[in-house]
Amino acid sequence: MGELKKLISIVSPAFNEEENIPLMIAEVKKVFKKLGEGYDFEYIFVNDGSKDSTWKVINDESVKDNRVKGISLSRNFGHQLAISAGLDMAKGDAVIYCDADLQQPPEIFDQLISKWENGFEIVHTKRLSTENVSFIKNFFSNFFYSVINYFSDVKVEKGMADFKLLDKKVHSHLIKFREVNRFLRGIIPWLGFKSTIVEYSAKKREHGRPGFSFGKSMSLAKTGILAFSIKPLKMVGYFGFALTVFSALFITFSVIYFLVNRSWYFSPLVNLVMFNAFLIGLVLICLGIMSLYISYVYNEVVDRPLYIVSDSVNV
């Protein structure tokens, strides 16, 4: 009887990736051919409400090779939930999740698997550079990580995106997380376990347009902050304390100046209008921060399904 092969599950969310999917599958097959007879793979694509022929391409590829699998969500649920849907279906001894646009290169899968075979239970990847990336995009990428790491209690190293290998033990714990507002880049480090990093240089996108815009990046940053930190709420308290001290000093100065000079340094009306405007603005900022947390709590307690699968193939 031959030795049992180790199954590696690969999960990729796909939003308008009709041209990239066949190329991605071809690259994965090259990697596993190089790895030899000891490994096999299943490739789970998650069609996240694509407007093009992505789902048809996934179906066509699944007919050619039953190791290619797919689930189609009823609408666009977003990058993080699409990855989570694929992770819920994965059955491998290890799971690799990455994007389907070839920018996160499949050719380093063998390095991830090698690290896993050496005893690491989480293998992160770190992007050192991106081919043909613009200055503006690079600036906003750096800004994203700066915002996350300033506010969040879980630190995310620059360049460590949603491209990782997880041992099945880690995977079994991860799929227990059912929060709607999820930030996988924060959840994975939070889990702990023995981890390491593989560095790579990202390639340019072969086809299609990036689905991860600046707005979506900032939305993901907001999720990371609210899910892993109460620092903004603490800052509200600090603002309140600072306002109290400032108000006390301002009133003390005004009273002393009036007693000494028998006149106001500023017009009483100016004092009142400016101070009220400052106070109202600060209160609105604080209420806005608290309302974000309340909205996140609301979304969790409603307990809707994380995603809805409208169709599937080979799963």
Pairwise CA distance, residues 166 & 304, whole Å = 27
- Asked if the structure places residue 86 within a domain, the reply is yes
Residue 200 belongs to a domain with what CATH number?
3.90.550.10
At 78, phi and psi to the nearest 5? 100, 160
pLDDT at residue 112, as a whole number:
95
pLDDT at residue 164, as a whole number:
95
- Number of structural domains found in the chain: 2
Q: Which domain holds residue 168?
A: 6-229+305-313
pLDDT at residue 56, as a whole number:
95
* pLDDT tens for each residue of 68-114: 999 999 999 988 899 999 999 999 999 999 998 888 889 999 999 99
Pairwise CA distance, residues 167 & 193, whole Å = 10
Lowest-confidence region among 26-30, 219-223, 259-263: 219-223
pLDDT at residue 31, as a whole number:
93
- Asked if the structure places residue 34 within a domain, the reply is yes
- Asked whether residue 240 falls in the same domain as residue 205, the answer is no
User: Once rounded to an integer, what is the mean pLDDT over residues 123-134?
Assistant: 77
Q: What predicted TM-score, i.e. pTM, was given to this entire model?
A: 0.72
- Asked if the structure places residue 235 within a domain, the reply is yes
Residue 20 banded pLDDT, cuts 50, 70, 90: very high
Pairwise CA distance, residues 43 & 8, whole Å = 9
- Asked whether residue 198 falls in the same domain as residue 246, the answer is no
- The DSSP code for 108 is G
pLDDT at 148 over 70: no
263-268: long-range contacts at Cβ-Cβ below 8 A with a sequence spacing of 24 or more? none
Strand order in the sheet with 122-130: 195-202, 122-130, 164-167, 94-97, 6-14, 39-47, 68-73, 309-313
- Asked if the structure places residue 105 within a domain, the reply is yes
Pairwise CA distance, residues 188 & 178, whole Å = 14
- Asked whether residue 47 falls in the same domain as residue 175, the answer is yes
- Asked whether residue 217 falls in the same domain as residue 235, the answer is no
To the nearest whole percent, how much of the chain has pLDDT over 90?
Answer: 42
* pLDDT tens for each residue of 177-215: 888 878 888 889 889 899 999 998 877 656 555 555 556
Burial class for 177, CB neighbours closer than 10 Å (0-12, 13-18, 19+): middle
Residue 160 banded pLDDT, cuts 50, 70, 90: confident
- Asked whether residue 217 falls in the same domain as residue 273, the answer is no
- Asked whether residue 275 falls in the same domain as residue 143, the answer is no
pLDDT at residue 1, as a whole number:
45
- Asked if the structure places residue 27 within a domain, the reply is yes
- Asked whether residue 266 falls in the same domain as residue 149, the answer is no
